[in-house]
Structure 1
Amino acid sequence: MTAHAPVQPGGLSPARLARLPACWIVAGLLVAGGLRIAQIGGRFVAAFPLATLTATVLFGLLAVPFWLFVTELDFFEREPTALLAVALAWGGLVATAVSIPAGAALGDIVAKLTSPGFAAGWGAALTGPTVEEIAKTLGVVAIVLIARSQINSVLDGIVYGAIVGLGFQIVEDIVFSLGAVAVAGRADDVQPVVATFLLRGFLSGVWSHTLFGALAGAGIGYLVVGTDRSRPARLGVALLAVFGAWCAHVLWNAPLFGDGPGNGAAGLLAVLVFKGLPPLLLILLLVRRAHDREADFYTAHLARLMDPGLITPGELTVLRSGGLRAAARQHARIRYGRRGLLAVRRLQRVQARLAVELSRAWACSPAPGPPPATSAVSGEDPGARVRRRCAEVRTQRAVLSGLGMPEAVAPRTGRDAWARRAWAVVTVALAVAVVWAALSALDGG
């Protein structure tokens, strides 16, 4: 894969966006989708006000940890919040509004071409992925058309694809939960909402639309940044990624192994793992590979500084790994409390910002050496931005030193290392207990 391209500053100025026809087209589609979803939501509010409020709150809260996790994936070059909001809105408004009628129409075609029995069993497995994956992938394409300069790695495509999928997942799950209320026929009852939340949100969310969107987004990201390959080769990889997302979605919707509650907690867990684990492992592998490439690219710029006041050799190693960054923060929390955790987190973040600014500055330089005083591309002063980031790093270094911590690293042995491992074991055990309780509640319901 080609080296990462630095993010160009000022790429999202309102004046520039206003000149892009794609920006106005996307805005129009978001408005149209919003009106359609508002129309659907209005009918639910009128019929089931309490259930609608409950579903909105539950699935809205569920979106928060997903959002935080996905946006943290791209640790160095964080995506602009405005573009993330567009991606979330596309998934929740445009993709959902298109998929509801298109899925129903395609379902009718499948029933006519096959048989009512086949359509009842496999219709959702064929129509849903076909319509929904195309609609969601177009959301990532829309981000590319609006802000091509912000897509500088495969990881960017993964993040935007996952956020589009998250928006779709939340809105679709709200609609499904309220549909379950209508089917139950018990007026404004929240029990079907809670059951849907446990199954489609809490248990299935980790390997549902967010995952499918991330897989397709990886392909779009490669299509944009893999300039060391021919355009047909990149297009082939992108289509293969979208097809992979479609296959994962088909497997998820397929009526295999008596899907659904009633199989016992162990049986339901086995179904979820069989259907969701393969694509989850695949996307985790892609994320790891893309993250490592991006981390190597940016930390190479930091290594050129050879200034332990900005970053030590140990911190260079830590900054390359999400696990080591988390371990350093956890070590600081155990040893120095919340102040230590915040000090390490802030130091890591300003070091990452410095790395991005260095990549921008060196990209503006026609030859190796220190960053130029003035950018030939934007007319701005990349050297001044680098100096400002250096000052931020030194300020955070002073805070860390004031706590008695010479560098933001965690020891691999000793009491603190065992404390971190024990905390991880307790966290995993608690998560397993909560998941098993949810499975048992669904089976009992």
Structure 2
Amino acid sequence: MVAMVRVGVAAYPLATALAVGLFALYAVPFVLVARSLDYFEREPPPLVLAAFGWGGLVATATAVRADAAAHDLLAKLVSARFASTWGPALTGPTIEEPVKVLGVAVIVLIAGRQINSVVDGFVYGAFVGLGFQVVENVMYAVNAVALAGRGDRVGPVVAVFLLRGFLGGLWSHTLFSALAGAGVAYWVLHPGRRGCELCAAALAGAWGFHALWNSPWLADGFGYGTAGVLAALLLKGTPALLVILLLVRSAGRREAAFYLRKLAGEPKVATERELAALAAGGTRFAARRFAYARGGLKLARCVRRLQRAQARLALDLSRDLPTRAAEHRAEVLAMRQQLEGQGHPEAYAPNNSGSAGGWFWAVGCVGAAVLAVLLAAAIRALGGG
């Protein structure tokens, strides 16, 4: 893997640098979302980096050679045409998903005490998949430059970035590995037969979604050109996204309910409306946005600091750490005093759910429009329109 990158830097320094920079920036929103999911108990940065490194180095290095060997074997056993058409759907997930989920298994073996909920497995799996996705996309971008045969040009890099980043990235390795990681975490937390069965179901789901995405089905876009291709890709990718969203929502609510029970009954620490606001990312954001509307950035930051202090206090109480709990309780009370001094005694937003839902649909509509524009631009860049 390192040798491949070295060759790319030597032959196409500008294109390789752009590919690395673009996909590094592209990873930032994924990192922020994954970190925000585990709001109450943040995973240790060294373990998160280890998960990312496993996906970006170990998994990709293994998959590159194994995928090529499996493709050749499939061509010999069936036919070259079958391997070319169905090889990515059969060999890709069969090799890549087990290699990636091994990264989560290694983290369980090294630091099993960090797996306290299904969300933990989701986060580690997501970072393994993100590492794989970023490095694989950089490789595809550099290969596209080489295949173009026009020297150190950035056009192929931009085209790959648009196609594999914005179109395929929403339901690619990050989601597949997150689902598999959640299954592993469930088995760790429920080591009986049911845990094993649900872990196997999660692994099968990751394999199935990966195979569906790589399959040649609907490749012609129903015969409707660019719009049809866009619709077909959304149809193939949306099931994985919906399953992950439902899983994260359910697991996140369970985890939040566990920690928030530690704060119940102390209005000075957290009121009932604040507990409801802390339960989900959307309602936490709505509380900060409401504070911003009332008192600007300063008040919004106060609400954010209060929420983080409340989360840390809940974690300390759950782990029976009285000294740290006392420190964070004092922090909560100090932030409460600041909010009261600014005429904003509670960190919540009226009509949280409706406000969050409106933002969700608005962002979804804008995202769909941007996606269509990016797809059209990528097709033009590749010379297809």
TM-score (norm 2): 0.94
Question: In the TM superposition, what whole-angstrom CA distance separates every residue of 1:159-192 from its partner, at most 9, and x where no partner exists?
Answer: 1001100000000000011111111111111111
Contact 2:36 2:281 in 1 (8 A): no
Deviation at 1:429, TM superposition (A): 4.6
Q: 2-side partners of 1:259 and 1:177: how far apart? A: 24
Equivalence map 1:119-130=2 (5 Å): 119-130=83-94
SS at match of 1:407: coil
1:444 aligns with 2:383: no
Note if 1:347 corresponds to 2:283: no
**Which residue in the other structure is 2:255 paired with?**
294
- Which residue in the other structure is 1:251 paired with? 212
Aligned-partner residue type, residue 277 of structure 1? T
Corresponding residue for residue 174 of structure 2 = 210
1:91 aligns with 2:55: yes
Given candidates 237, 241, 251, the residue that maps to 1:276 is 237
- Partner amino acid, structure 2, of 1:65: P
- SS of aligned partner of 1:301: coil
- 1:389 aligns with 328
Q: Give the residue type in structure 2 aligned to 1:294.
A: E
5 Å-filtered alignment, 1:22-421, equals 37-227=1-191, 231-258=192-219, 264-303=225-264, 306-361=265-320, 382-412=321-351
Q: Distance in 2 between matches of 1:420 and 1:126?
A: 40
Name segments (4+ residues, structure 1) moved above 4 Å: 417-429
Give 1:401 deviation, angstroms. 2.0
Q: Distance in 2 between matches of 1:134 and 1:425?
A: 35
* SS of structure 2 residue aligned to 1:100: helix
Question: Measured at CA, do residues 89 and 264 of structure 1 come closer, stay the same or move farther in structure 2, by a change above 3 Å?
Answer: same
* Cα shift at 1:325: 1.2
Q: Is the 1:331–1:420 contact (alpha carbons within 8 Å) kept by the matching residues of 2?
A: no
Distance (Å, rounded) in 2 between the aligned partners of 1:297 and 1:428: 30
May I ask how many residue pairs the two structures share in their alignment? 380
Shift in Å at residue 418 of structure 1? 9.3
Q: CA deviation at 1:431?
A: 2.8
Instruction: Determine if contact 2:288/2:303 at 8 Å carries over to the other structure.
Output: yes
The 8 Å contact of residues 92 and 167 in structure 1, kept in 2 or not, is answered as: yes
The structure carrying a bigger helix percent of its residues is 2
1:444 Cα deviation after fit? 2.8
**Contact 1:268-1:439 within 8 A present in 2 as well:** no
Query: How far off is 1:420 after superposition?
Result: 7.6
RMSD: 1.9
TM-score by length of 1: 0.82
User: Alpha-carbon deviation of 1:434?
Assistant: 2.1
Aligned equivalents of 1:223 and 1:420: distance in 2? Answer: 33
After superposition, what is the alpha-carbon deviation per residue over 1:277-330, rounded to whole angstroms, capped at 9, x for unaligned? 011111111111100110111111111xx2221111111111112221111111
CA deviation map 1:84-112 (0-9, x unaligned): 01001000010001100011111111111
SS at match of 2:268: coil
Gaps of 5+ in 1: 1-36, 362-381
Residue identity (%): 52
Instruction: Report the residue type matching 2:376 in the other structure.
Output: S
| 1:232 Cα offset (Å) | 3.1
Shift of 1:236: 2.1
SS where residue 261 of structure 2 aligns?
helix
Task: Give the letter for the 1:68 counterpart.
Answer: L
Q: Distance in 2 between matches of 1:99 and 1:77?
A: 32
Could you tell me whether the CA contact under 8 Å between 1:59 and 1:170 is conserved in 2? Answer: yes
Q: Is the alpha carbon distance of 1:392 and 1:178 closer, same or farther for their aligned partners in structure 2, counting shifts above 3 Å?
A: same
Structure 2 unaligned spans of 5+: none
**8 A contact 1:155–1:291 mirrored in 2:** yes
Amino acid at match of 2:374: A
Give the AA of the match of 2:308: R
Partners of 1:419 and 1:217 lie apart in 2 by 32
Measured in 1, the distance between the counterparts of 2:147 and 2:346 equals 59
Contact 1:264–1:440 (Cα < 8 Å) also in 2: no
Partner Cα distance (1:437, 1:151) in 2:
41
In the alignment, the residues of structure 1 paired with residue 378 and residue 253 of structure 2 have an alpha-carbon distance, to the nearest angstrom, of 39
**Matched residue type, 1:127:** T
> How far apart, CA to CA, are the structure 2 residues paired with 1:152 and 1:222?
9
Q: 1:433 Cα shift? A: 3.2
1:313-367 per-residue CA deviation (whole Å, 9 max, x = no partner) reads 1111111122211111111122222112211111111111111111111xxxxxx
The answer on whether the counterparts of 1:122 and 1:254 sit within 8 Å (CA) in structure 2 is yes
Q: Tell me the residue number matched to 1:23.
A: none
CA contact (8 A) 1:330 1:420 kept: no
Superposed CA deviations along residues 15-44 of structure 1, whole A, max 9, x for unmatched, are xxxxxxxxxxxxxxxxxxxxxx22110001
Equivalent position SS for 2:319: helix
Q: In the alignment, is the contact (CA less than 8 A) between 1:263 and 1:443 conserved in 2?
A: no
